[in-house]
Amino acid sequence: MPHLVPETGPQRVIAASNFVNTIGSGLYLTAGVLYFTQAAHLPATEVGLGLGIAGFVSLIAGVAVGHLADTHGARGVYAATLVVRGVATAAFFLADGFWPFVLAVCAATGAHAAGQAARGPIIRCHGGDRPQEFRAYLRAVTNIGVPSSCPAR
């Protein structure tokens, strides 16, 4: 019978960080939009446009940083993306207009996508004999984390 929690070591750390990251991402997606439309008083159209621009930026960032992680080491690159994402998310409180919002959300979303790309080699390295099975396990952990981060109806 498979284990519900990986044995102590890198797989457990990766799974736990994946769970925490999923909850944070879910809260970011729901509370972030409400914050910018209600507290920062940005029109919903501007929030949507800014998120669309950020999505485009994240596509480019993911590819570029994935290559960087392959050539310079995934662990350091992944750690850097987490720092950038944290600083960019904190910058949301300073965004008082459309362009500061776009800058902050592009940095946060780009760092998230870049982090996912940099995380791939880490998962492959610590996935054991069957990295695809570990990747599937992480997907299941993500699916558990998503509903817990959504607001109750």
Q: Is the pLDDT of residue 149 over 70?
A: no
Average pLDDT for 66-83: 89
DSSP assignments along the chain, one per residue:
---SSPPTTHHHHHHHHHHHHHHHHHHHHHHHHHIIIIIS---HHHHHHHHHHHHHHHHHHHHHHHHHHHHH-HHHHHHHHHHHHHHHHHGGGG--SHHHHHHHHHHHHHHHHHHHHHHHHHHHHHSTT-HHHHHHHHHHHHHHHHHHHSPP-
Average pLDDT for 122-135: 85
pTM to 2 decimals?
0.80
The pLDDT of residue 151 is: 55
Average pLDDT for 74-103: 91
